[in-house]
């Protein structure tokens, strides 16, 4: 079924039988599917403004709920650590959300990327909490590498797999596809049981290296010849029309990678330069780079479509809560480890440069690792027929630490007092279920993101953030969502209030004492 027909078909099904779902939700626990993308900017999927074709993600958005402001921890491992435990920081006593679903009688399935901070306990690792798990740690190739130089191991329920042992349906093997192959195989098994299932599907797309199937790349060749400057303006206008930006949002000026601790790995690389000054050959080369990235996002969406089709064909779609989110903003850490090989094939190893990542993070500033909105602010979509009103958009802010409390609410479960012999650590977030139901929730007292030298701390309308361990900047994020006007010298009292508030959270990143705002 092609993407257009699939979209129409799912929407028709939703309209016809959606009215029956409410009574089912009263008596049945929902299945849960949690999908995470990697290193994708706020504007890099269609329903948030992109020209990249993502009809299946768009379906979830247009038939579900989009957040205009949703925060992560700005990098792969801290985001996953916080999302899966509900903690900004932790240790023994952390509870993986799959512990919660298991206690509620769910079949737990994971296929994809696992990458944790060192504080996450061993008992939270995939093989300890999922009934079935296929996973890898951090960066690996998309195609099987021609040599083992960059290859890292894959694991099947704790057992290390060599590349030749991986099961896959489509040749040549491609990671986004075979991640989904394992998930679909285990879903078939789950469908034969009476218990509900929890599927955690953390894709690696579109983290470098830039590798994609040729037919996917071909769809996008030539679409980026107009350049990053024109495309940022085009996306900004589309986003404004879609309603995924605050009305007062402005397009930030083009900005390079200001991270002094993780700069480009290629000598002579320039962070930003105007597109119009490039030669035709340079433009063609840069068009290919972005076309490969787009192809990777497209392929991920195709695989999300495979999951949606599987759920619909087996009568599970109407009682399934599906959430889609991203671990951090687009990545500007340009590198090319294999010289004289263009991006795309299995023997290449490229990443995006800052100017294309700046396009992905439209209209916001900065990138992955940074607490500025470009690094910490990414899409969040929730789809749940009969509970979430189709086509809704909320400007209530959320954060990945809110997922665990949300699971507890959805599962109608009490947070355990102990785990693996340790008293449990109190959760940092609060449930998103009221927002799912179209209600207002009490906004959390604060949100935290960014690596330490790039930390963000937001409380109420104001936010402090720093670059390279420098002085705090201050923004009124409601009046200035694109962070164009640093108020640090104008409102020193507010700056001191927030910086002192943040200091009281360190080193455990949990509030000590009464709130002072």
How far, CA to CA in Å, does 150 sit from each of 144, 337, 339, 351?
10, 10, 15, 14
298 and 422 fall within a common domain: yes
Residue 219 exposed, middle or buried by CB count within 10 Å (0-12, 13-18, 19+): middle
Confidence at residue 496, expressed as pLDDT on a 0 to 100 scale: 98
Residue 134, φ and ψ in degrees, nearest 5: -130, 125
Q: What would the DSSP string read from start to end of 214-236?
A: HHHHHTTTTTTTTHHHHHHHHHH
**Collapsed DSSP state (helix, strand, coil) of residue 53:** coil
**Domain assignment of residue 463, yes or no:** yes
Contacts of 116 (CB under 8 A, 6+ apart): 77, 80, 81, 124, 125
Contacts of 247 (CB under 8 A, 6+ apart): none
Helix (H), strand (E), coil (C) string for 161-182? ECHHHCCCCCCCCEHHHHHHHH
472 and 347 fall within a common domain: no
**Domain assignment of residue 446, yes or no:** no
**Domain assignment of residue 251, yes or no:** no
- Encoded tokens for 24: 């089912």
- Domain boundary among the residues 387, 410, 441 is at 441
371 and 485 fall within a common domain: no
- Domain boundary among the residues 391, 410, 441 is at 441
In 227-335, DSSP assigns E strands to 320-326
Confidence at residue 508, expressed as pLDDT on a 0 to 100 scale: 65
Pairing of strands 65-67, 320-326: unpaired
469/487 Cα distance (integer angstroms)? 18
> Residue 459 sits in which domain range?
455-517
Burial 259-271 (b: 16+ CB within 10 A, else e): beebbbeeeeeeb
Cβ atoms of 117 and 77 closer than 8 Å: yes
281 and 362 fall within a common domain: yes
What CATH number does the domain containing 278 carry?
Answer: 3.40.720.10
Give the tens place of pLDDT for each residue, 181-239: 999 999 999 999 999 999 999 999 999 999 999 999 999 999 999 999 999 999 999 99
Distance of CA 96 to the CA centre of its chain: 18
Total domains, the chain = 2
Q: What percent of the chain has a predicted confidence (pLDDT) above 70?
A: 90
Cβ atoms of 401 and 83 closer than 8 Å: yes
193/184 Cα distance (integer angstroms)? 15
Distance of CA 472 to the CA centre of its chain: 26
DSSP secondary structure code for residue 453 in this structure: G
How far, CA to CA in Å, does 331 sit from each of 91, 335, 509?
28, 11, 26
Note if the bond before 178 is cis, omega within 30 degrees: no
How far, CA to CA in Å, does 77 sit from each of 38, 90, 118, 171?
11, 13, 9, 30
201 and 226 fall within a common domain: yes
Strand pairing partners for 143? 174
Number of H helices, E strands in the chain: 15, 18
372 and 493 fall within a common domain: no
Residue 308, φ and ψ in degrees, nearest 5: -60, -40
Give the tens place of pLDDT for each residue, 13-58: 454 444 444 444 445 899 999 999 999 999 999 999 999 999 999 9
Contacts of 118 (CB under 8 A, 6+ apart): none
230 and 304 fall within a common domain: yes
Task: Give the chain's largest Cα–Cα span.
Answer: 64
323 and 386 fall within a common domain: yes
Confidence at residue 20, expressed as pLDDT on a 0 to 100 scale: 43
46 and 129 fall within a common domain: yes
What CATH number does the domain containing 473 carry?
Answer: 3.30.1120.10
Q: What is the pTM (predicted TM-score) of this model?
A: 0.93
279/77 Cα distance (integer angstroms)? 39
Strand pairing partners for 418? 423
CA quadruple 21, 25, 28, 29: dihedral sign: positive
Rg of the chain over Cα atoms, rounded to whole angstroms, equals: 22
456/119 Cα distance (integer angstroms)? 20
**Domain assignment of residue 447, yes or no:** no
Residue 469, φ and ψ in degrees, nearest 5: 70, 15
**Domain assignment of residue 449, yes or no:** no
* Tens-digit pLDDT string for the chain (517 aa): 454 445 545 545 454 444 444 444 445 899 999 999 999 999 999 999 999 999 999 999 999 999 999 999 999 999 999 999 999 999 999 999 999 999 999 999 999 999 999 999 999 999 999 999 999 987 778 997 655 555 678 999 999 988 789 999 999 999 999 999 999 999 999 999 999 999 999 999 999 999 999 999 999 999 999 999 999 999 999 999 999 999 999 999 999 888 888 766 555 556 788 999 999 999 999 999 999 999 999 999 999 999 999 999 999 999 999 999 999 999 998 887 777 899 999 989 899 999 999 999 999 999 999 999 999 999 999 999 999 999 999 999 999 999 999 999 999 999 999 999 999 999 999 999 999 999 999 999 999 999 999 999 999 999 999 999 999 999 999 999 999 999 999 999 999 999 999 998 865 655 433 333 3
53 and 75 fall within a common domain: yes
366 and 499 fall within a common domain: no
- Domain boundary among the residues 410, 441, 472 is at 441
**Domain assignment of residue 480, yes or no:** yes
8 and 71 fall within a common domain: yes
127/98 Cα distance (integer angstroms)? 11
Residue 474, φ and ψ in degrees, nearest 5: -130, 130
């Amino acid at each position: 079924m092609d993407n257009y027909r699939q979209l129409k078909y799912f929407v028709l099904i939703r309209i016809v039988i959606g009215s029956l779902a409410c009574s089912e939700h009263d008596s049945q626990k929902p299945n849960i599917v949690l999908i995470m993308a990697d290193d994708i900017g706020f504007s890099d999927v269609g329903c948030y403004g992109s020209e990249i074709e993502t009809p299946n993600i768009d379906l979830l958005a247009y038939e579900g709920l989009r957040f205009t402001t949703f925060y992560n921890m700005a990098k792969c491992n801290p985001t996953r650590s916080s999302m899966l435990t509900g903690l900004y920081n932790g240790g023994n006593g952390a509870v993986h959300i799959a512990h919660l679903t298991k206690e509620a009688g769910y079949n737990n399935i994971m296929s994809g990327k696992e990458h944790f901070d060192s504080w996450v306990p061993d008992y939270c690792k995939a093989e300890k909490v999922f009934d079935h798990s296929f996973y890898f740690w951090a960066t690996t190739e998309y195609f099987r590498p021609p040599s083992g130089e960059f290859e890292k191991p894959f694991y099947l329920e704790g057992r290390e797999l060599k590349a030749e042992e991986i099961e896959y349906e489509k040749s040549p093997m491609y990671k986004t596809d075979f991640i989904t192959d394992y998930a679909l195989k285990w879903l078939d098994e789950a469908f034969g049981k009476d218990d509900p299932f929890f599927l955690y599907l953390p894709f690696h797309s579109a983290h470098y290296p830039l590798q994609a199937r040729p037919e996917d790349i071909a769809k996008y060749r030539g679409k980026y010849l107009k350049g990053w400057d024109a495309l940022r303006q085009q996306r900004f206008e589309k986003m404004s029309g879609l309603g995924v930006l605050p009305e007062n949002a402005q397009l930030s000026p083009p900005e390079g990678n200001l991270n002094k601790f993780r700069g480009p790995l290629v000598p002579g690389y320039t962070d930003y330069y105007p597109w119009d000054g490039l030669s035709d050959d340079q433009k063609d080369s840069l068009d290919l780079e972005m076309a490969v990235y787009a192809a990777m996002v497209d392929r991920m969406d195709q695989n999300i479509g495979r999951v949606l089709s599987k759920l619909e064909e087996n009568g599970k779609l109407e009682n399934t809560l599906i959430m889609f989110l991203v671990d951090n903003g687009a990545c500007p850490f340009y590198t090319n480890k294999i010289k004289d090989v263009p991006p795309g094939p299995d023997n290449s190893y490229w990443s995006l440069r800052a100017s294309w990542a700046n396009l992905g993070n439209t209209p916001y500033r900065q990138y992955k690792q940074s607490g500025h909105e470009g690094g910490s602010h990414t899409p969040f979509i929730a789809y749940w027929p009969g509970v979430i009103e189709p086509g809704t958009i909320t400007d209530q802010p959320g954060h990945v630490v809110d997922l665990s409390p949300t699971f507890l609410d959805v599962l109608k479960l009490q947070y355990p007092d102990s785990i693996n012999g340790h008293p449990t650590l109190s959760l940092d977030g609060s449930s998103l279920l009221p927002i799912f139901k179209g209600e207002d929730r009490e906004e959390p007292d604060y949100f935290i993101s960014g690596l330490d030298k790039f930390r963000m701390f937001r409380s109420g309308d104001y936010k402090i953030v720093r670059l390279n361990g420098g002085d705090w900047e201050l923004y009124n994020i409601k009046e200035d969502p694109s962070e164009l006007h640093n108020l640090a010298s104008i409102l020193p009292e507010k700056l001191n209030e927030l910086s002192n508030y943040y200091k009281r959270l360190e080193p455990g990143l949990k509030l000590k004492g009464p709130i002072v705002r």
